[in-house]
Structure 1
């Protein structure tokens, strides 16, 4: 039997360095760290047989000055002199380091910070202070471990195990090595463990007996994957290093030989497989009670510590805010919610400017601090449904805003590192790569003589990723870093949808900033499996093609892809799997390929017969069988609606007197609370209490409390807008798509959520957007439009004062109308409007009770109760205007008056000006009628004056009432609601853009 006593005693030290300059190692640090250590040891011939090292910081690719770096050194018996030299030169850093012209990761850019004994954790300074791990201790430990009938084997660096001889006869290169679970069994693992020990002993001059029969060892279960990473050597040449990673559950049907356990325990220090002196082949044994034999040193800092750095959090915050459709809801950071909608409400929408300077840094850092301690509990995800052009549904699961920032912050650290070791022909969700790059790769292969294509995609991939496999991958790369646990918490969060909480057992949430990087991590092994077998795979997320030389190779590609994906619990989508000759043509990523010609046909997708409308493994499928399908709170991908024409009749009833929100929800038989078509014959708005939308015999039916409020032919609808909490049945949803009727979703406070549409814009579509962009670029034209809305704004301010008997101030406002007409630029016009607004609010001071402490307009945040009413009301109005801009096909982000910034809907800010007085009148009425009182408000920690919950409900009901009371506009005979006036004003602007008609801002006088 092989005796390893010659290797003992072992000594081990944990080394902590401090970087003096930046360092950018490759994903796997072993090549660079190994070369650095050999240099410091003097480059002795015996380094490989006497010294081992471990690089627990692998996976991190950037270090800044002042940051620490940790690794472990192991000295085998006989290596004392080399080890002493190594420790001495570590202490003399940076002076003892290699001086290179090239910026190697480890050079004169670091200094020694600390040494600790690996076995005792005591600080040391010299070799003779290190504890010796004697062979007798190994024997005792092996006897203890012999009492377990199961063990877990975790890799800690890539392991390169040669396949069994009979399975590598014709294999070359990396194909000779075990890559997947199917390549490894108990006998092979035992054989390679013996071979590693025997080779090390022979290098030390010890004769070794023949390999003994393998002990009874079974692999109960496990998950293995291969990962490659590039690195650059000392002369600047690029190489690839890779190996097998993962976890195996080992079972012993009978007691294993104690010698085998000695090899296995010792192998944790010396390595397993090929290139162990290079730092590969590190692993750890774990007992069923989670006890370990060889505890690995932790990195000097968790990735979470990097994520919590201020610069990183600011970058994440700015990125999320720039993509946040409701970025104006800044008060979310104060945890102020409207319980009737579950949405955050905010201050004046104009205040989104500068939101990037208001990052809640302390709150974000505290959350990551909790994650470091394992005490952070992420909130549920929010269910979001996106309709694909083929009629199928794509259920998304979106983290709340703050968690999106946190996830983005972690992703900014994690993603670049994972990117660095991924397959060269993977193009989805990767920086600097797109479907155009994939197109070029396909064309290049065709020109190289590939004449057949095997095309497929992975069935329901995002919803099928197994959490245990993801955990194994992350822990193989990042060990016990707390970031792994946090990532697992984030991806497995339940989904809240339609008032229900849906637990998720698998899947990456589409909507999480982390899912793209984790998806590519899960699929990189598939890429490698196909590449090592010689296939030309081109992948974009879960959609891929394999370019082949002939039909037989294409069939082999199908078999290989099926086997590789099955290893990871995944399968192919049979509806999208086919083999074809290149000359026959095939579609991929929106391109039609015929020979080496690629035609962009992304706007003309084929429909797939029998395709399920809901992904079978998604959270939405767990609602299967329930109809109606609730869509309250659903955000659907932002796009623009279609235009149609027709008419529907709806009886009108006079709206009742003011009531609070509870009674408002009970007025089930009031059609004006639903909305009406009136003389427009195009747009149906559903506003107010909960309603159900269903389809019957080609008609859309809107019901509330069992009574039908509308029954309209689908063909007569331009669009439907749902404000607030309503229910849309699945058949109605599909009917809307089939008949190309967009359904727009907005919160009950008006905030735009998104649109369900076919993805095919109708006229004027992009033509309108181009007109909008071209004409709004003309300052003179913009000035004429802006004069219209400012004129209307001032007239309405004047009328508000006149109705309250404040005539002198009203007359002073009248004088400003001439200044509007004479303004020569937008800045001058803005100054006129600002002056009018200041005069208006100054005039109001005397009409408001003194205990309201109103001294003029303030915001960001509002500091008194009346300003809180104004800010909340403006936010509601802005949301309504933005939603109707989407519905009517205009670009809300491209305005003609207000200053554009980020994704703020500036056109909504422009076109809401004539309607602002409705908010001001509502606020005044609530105060003067004593429906709201100062004690209905409170001051938050940031100084913001906020409404209490009941007051918000009452005020919201008053605003709803105001926005649904018919008003007569100048030049119109029939009164309609302000919501309809907003729509008509949009149509007037469209007429100005498309036909040169006069634009008329809404005016009541």
Structure 2
């Protein structure tokens, strides 16, 4: 069988000259208007009869609602051979004339950049050969070998029903016609209506055995609400096509099926033929995926996430925000590397339900949460115009109060009979295969739809039913899934008010509540859903309706308290922040008691003030020395799964208290692997030493000593190629620093740094400060799952915590600052020290008064707040945890560690 007509297939690229806003979901009529005006204009000028109705646009960027200046637009076009020369004349003049008054206007909003033949993949010319069956032979032969294949819509299909099956609201083949199972040979009608002159028998034995479709209205013309429409989605067809049927179906992919070809309706593809293609498929130039996967969109996504427990990789939201752009670039690269194929890492939780039993929750890694929130932020506005006005949940500007007001209005308009109901286990019951069919049909050639489809199929293979609760994408996808139910209620003439899976369906008198109930149950059954009997009740005129926490009548809306059980997903965090997400709290000598009060830990301070800290914002509790606290503090910490560490006044760990269910992390295997990477070790060591030298320079500058040699040495750090060379630079910087530091410690003398034993008061103070910080860092490292003895820059030996010494380097200025404060404020004097000869040198020791004074100053300093660069205010105690967390992000997630650099 040969086609009667021959066609050229073109692919256009346009650049956007000015912003284009408020596009409908499908752009066919808007592009048709531009080409019709152009062809009529050029045809009239050349004295040629118009062929505009025979030129069929094929929009591919469905779902894009706006373009910005500089964007690129992709468009397909089908033109009969008889109109090829006229089209070439039109394209030659495209950018030279100004035509159109809608969204797309030549010379004003769009400029033609290229017109490519889909047959040759080269610049198109009217002299090019048209599409022939020979071009389609590989696809035809492949289709003849298939027992099952799919029809995936690229635009809505507007196929008239057979005369005997038409009704007032059923003039065209809709989802009911194709999928209800009540129509005899529905696919035969599809074959009959393929364009281009084919005449295939209506007696085809090909059967529709699955799929999902919904109706999409297509707006056109100037009149508001003027639409045509068709079905979109996927049909699964079983049966091996005959040669004639295969030719018809393959040909139909390029010329379409059904009515309104000029608007771009009726195009589809058979995805199983992708490997046999000779014709270049249409692809998008602007994608929703691209608008979601970029640094700005991911930054916005990260900023909008709420705290919740970490996923399997242990990275918290706090970690992600601290990691910043390097993490987002990694997420971007991973998303662009391909579709999700392997198992998605998930952390399961079981959350008790108010009605009994448990709700299964699966927590993603933070990277996936950021990406999916960006997807949701991009997809939701695109879906907005497709959703029924009956749906109120998860939509910007709408709320349960809006739903209650609409319900009140309907009751006042005497829609007084119906039912109030909930869908049973809705999110778990969503048929994700059907949902994928809707997504792929409504967003043709869209990478975001491909990504979401692959993701939904992957989690289904992992045993997760339906839409995972608490995930950012589940709300917009749930509304899309229920759009068919909303539309069916409207077709029945009912009035629906729906908030997620909680809804009221009303009608006027003349229809019984039982009729409404049967229609609701039937519609939901088609979607694989059912009602909760215990939540289904009759609505009777004159009575109040309990809905979404309100008591609603025709006269008023009253708060009824919280709903008995609100919609299962309010899409706020289902967990308190995990203990890793908060801040450490230190109970030290400056505390005068601590106790648990309600949701908070109350800490009394020496100045008679107290601080109330929510338990859910505490990451670790550190008890220093003999700090006073009630027994209830320890009990509450264990109950909240907050680890408690006991350290002595020197910072040495003496014990730990953890809940049996608390997470215990061991990062030593990864730590060991990273430490074997010489390039990584050198890179981190450079960062540590550079930060140490920088902070030393700033401390001296704050004390009116500007030492340019230190800045020069800091610059040299980036050039060294070995740890030995780096140690040489670090040693030189330390010597220069302490030479100038000695001029700041009068009345004490200081001629240079002496370690073991210290030879004078200043060295005693410095060694004591470094030791306190070293011990406290050692405790933090151990609490967070690291081996403190596995160092990077410092060599490992004996019981030395080499890693604590590494992370101490950028913080040494803190101990130096404490020493200067003690001396300048006169809090320590020469009388607080005693010296004695020790062979070749002198040994100096600090007495009890000096020890207590130092500890007091140290604890006050460590408890004081500061604001690190690009960070939030925190205490120095809190910064010890943050610097270890930053190191963890480098070790576990390859996010470069940035030591503290002061200003």
- Relative to the length of structure 2, the TM-score reads 0.62
Task: Choose from 483, 497, 510 the match for 1:524.
Answer: 483
Look up the match of 1:85: 89
> Residues 14 and 72 of structure 1 are in contact (CA less than 8 Å); yes or no, is this contact kept in structure 2?
yes
- Quote how far apart the aligned CAs of 1:158 are: 0.9
Correspondence list, 1:207-226, <5 A: 213-226=202-215
Residues 292 and 378 in structure 2, CA contact (< 8 A), matched pair in contact too? yes
1:157 is displaced (CA, Å) by 0.8
Equivalent position to 2:248, from 259, 263, 271? 263
Alpha carbons of structure 1 residues 223 and 489: separation in structure 2 relative to 1, 3 Å: closer
Q: How far does residue 11 in structure 1 lie from its aligned partner after superposition?
A: 1.2
**Residue 34 (structure 2) aligns with:** 36
Superposition map of 1:275-294 within 5 A: 275-287=260-272, 291=276
Structure 1: how far apart are the matches of 2:343 and 2:457? Answer: 10
Deviation at 1:544, TM superposition (A): 1.4
Question: Computing the radius of gyration over CA atoms, which structure comes out larger, 1 or 2?
Answer: 2
Cα distance in 2, alignment partners of residues 142 and 684 from structure 1: 69
CA distance in structure 2 between the aligned counterparts of 1:250 and 1:488, rounded to whole angstroms: 20
Pick from 931, 942, 949: which aligns with 2:896? 942
Please say if residues 53 and 74 of structure 1, whose CA atoms lie closer than 8 Å, have aligned partners that are also in contact: yes
1:299 Cα offset (Å): 0.8
Q: Shift of residue 748 of structure 1?
A: 9.2
Is 1:324 aligned with 2:307? yes
Alignment check: 8 A CA contact 2:31 2:104 kept: no
Give SS of 1:70's match: strand
Partner of residue 558, structure 1: 517
2:766 to 845, 859, 863: 845
What residue in structure 1 maps to residue 238 of structure 2? Answer: 251
Deviations 1:184-215 (A, max 9, x none): 85633323542464xx76xxxxxx99x95422
**Per-residue deviation at 1:546?**
0.8
* Deviation string, structure 1 residues 840-866 (Cα, Å, up to 9, x no partner): x99963325699999x9xxxx999523
Which one of the candidate residues 588, 591, 595 is aligned to 2:547?
588
Question: Are 1:486 and 2:451 an aligned pair?
Answer: yes
Which residue is 2:420 aligned to?
A: 455
> Deviation per CA, 1:327-348, whole angstroms, max 9, x where unpaired?
xx9xx9xx9x7xxxx465979x
Contact conserved, 1:17 with 1:112, CA < 8 A, in 2? Answer: yes
Distance change >3 Å, CA 493–CA 14, structure 1 → 2: closer
Given that 1:491 and 1:509 are in contact with CA atoms closer than 8 Å, whether structure 2 keeps it comes out as: no
Task: Find the aligned partners of 1:464 and 1:127 in 2 and give their Cα distance.
Answer: 53
Q: Which residue of 1 aligns with 2:336?
A: 369
Match of residue 528, structure 2, among 569, 576, 583: 569
Structure 1 partner of 2:126: 127
Pick closer, same or farther for the CA change 1:48–1:188 going to 2, 3 Å.
Answer: farther
Give the one of 151, 155, 158 matched to 1:157: 155
Instruction: Find the counterpart in structure 1 of residue 292 from structure 2.
Output: 307
* Partner Cα distance (1:938, 1:417) in 2: 36
Query: For 2:180, what is the secondary structure of its paired residue?
Result: helix
For 1:893, the equivalent position in structure 2 comes to none
Displacement after TM superposition at 1:70 (Å):
0.9
Give the corresponding residue for 1:27.
Answer: 25
**Structure 1 SS opposite 2:496:** strand
Cα distance in 2 for partners of 1:278, 1:46 equals 16
Answer yes or no: is the 8 Å Cα contact 2:495–2:505 preserved in 1: yes
Residue 302 of structure 2 contacts residue 370 of structure 2 at CA under 8 Å; is this kept in 1? yes
Counterpart Cα distance in 1 of 2:340 and 2:162? 46
Q: Give the Cα–Cα distance (whole angstroms) in 2 for the partners of residues 106 and 506 of structure 1.
A: 49
Where does residue 884 of structure 1 map in the other structure?
Answer: none
Look up the SS of the partner of 1:298 in the other structure.
coil
Instruction: Report the secondary structure of 2:82's partner residue.
Output: coil
- Aligned ranges 1:825-840 → 2 under 5 Å: none
Q: Alpha-carbon deviation of 1:940? A: 8.0
What displacement does 1:535 show?
Answer: 1.6
1:540 maps to 2:499: yes
Q: 1:185 to 1:943 in 2, by over 3 A?
A: same
Instruction: Give the 3-state SS of the residue equivalent to 2:254 in structure 1.
Output: helix
- The alignment partner of 2:215 has SS state of strand
Partner of 1:957: none
Q: 2: CA distance between counterparts of 1:196 and 1:517?
A: 34
What is residue 361 of structure 2 aligned with on the other side? 396
Specify every segment of 5 or more residues in structure 2 that has no aligned partner in the other structure, as ranges.
44-48, 582-595, 600-627, 645-655, 667-743, 748-761, 778-802, 814-863, 883-890
Change beyond 3 A, Cα 1:600–1:77: same
Looking at structure 2, the residues matched to 195 and 467 of structure 1 have their Cα atoms a distance apart, in angstroms, of 30
Structure 1 position 39, deviation (Å)? 1.6
Hey, what does 1:928 align to over in structure 2?
Answer: none
Unpaired segments ≥5 residues, structure 1: 202-207, 496-501, 621-629, 645-674, 692-721, 728-744, 750-808, 813-840, 872-896, 924-936, 947-1005
Q: CA deviation at 1:450?
A: 0.5
Distance 1:242 1:84, change over 3 A: same
Paired residues for 1:129-148 under 5 Å: 130-134=128-132, 145-148=143-146
Question: Secondary structure of the equivalent of 2:396?
Answer: coil
Give the superposition deviation at 1:405.
1.4
Gap change, CA 1:83 and 1:412, over 3 Å in 2: same
Instruction: List aligned pairs for 1:795-944, cutoff 5 A.
Output: 845-848=766-769, 864-866=806-808, 942-944=896-898
Q: TM-score, normalised by structure 1?
A: 0.56
Secondary structure of the 1:280 match is coil
Within 1, Cα distance between the matches of 2:135 and 2:270? Answer: 17
Counterpart for residue 725 of structure 2: none
What do the CA deviations read for 1:282-328 (whole angstroms, capped 9, x no partner)? 112355896468663111244332223332222222222xx2368xx
Partner residue in 2 for 1:75:
79
Give the structure 1 partner of residue 406 of structure 2.
441
**Equivalence map 1:335-350=2 (5 Å):** 342=314
Deviation at 1:120, TM superposition (A): 2.4
- C-alpha change, 1:529 and 1:549, in structure 2 (3 Å) is same
Indicate if the aligned counterparts of 2:16 and 2:109 stay in contact, CA closer than 8 A: yes
Once the two structures are superposed, residues 726-750 of structure 1 have per-residue CA deviations (whole angstroms, 9 ceiling, x without a partner) of: 45xxxxxxxxxxxxxxxxx99999x
Q: Please state how far the C-alpha of 1:167 moved relative to its aligned partner.
A: 3.8
Cα distance in 2 between the residues matched to 1:938 and 1:558: 55
Provide Cα deviations, 1:705-743, integer angstroms capped at 9, x if missing partner.
Answer: xxxxxxxxxxxxxxxxx996545xxxxxxxxxxxxxxxx
Q: Distance in 2 between matches of 1:842 and 1:566?
A: 81
Secondary structure, aligned partner of 2:270: strand
Cα distance in 2, alignment partners of residues 520 and 492 from structure 1:
19
Which of the numbers 264, 272, 295 marks the counterpart of 2:257?
272
RMSD over aligned Cα, in angstroms? Answer: 5.3
Within 5 Å, which residues of 2 pair with 1:519-918?
519-550=478-509, 552-603=511-562, 605-606=563-564, 678=631, 685-686=638-639, 726-727=660-661, 845-848=766-769, 864-866=806-808
Separation in 2, partners of 1:746, 1:851? 28
CA contact (8 A) 1:285 1:292 kept: no
Q: Is the 8 A contact 2:479 2:500 kept in 1?
A: yes
Q: Secondary structure at the match of 1:383?
A: strand
Question: Would the alpha carbon gap of residues 540 and 411 (structure 1) be closer, same or farther in structure 2, given more than 3 Å must change?
Answer: same
Contact kept? 1:453, 1:582, Cα under 8 Å: no
* Partners of 1:526 and 1:169 in 2: CA distance: 20
CA contact (8 A) 1:676 1:684 kept: no
Q: Do the aligned residues in 2 keep the contact of 1:87 with 1:127 (CA within 8 Å)?
A: no
Q: Deviations over 1:331-367 (max 9, x none)?
A: x9xx9x7xxxx465979xxx97xx5965634223212
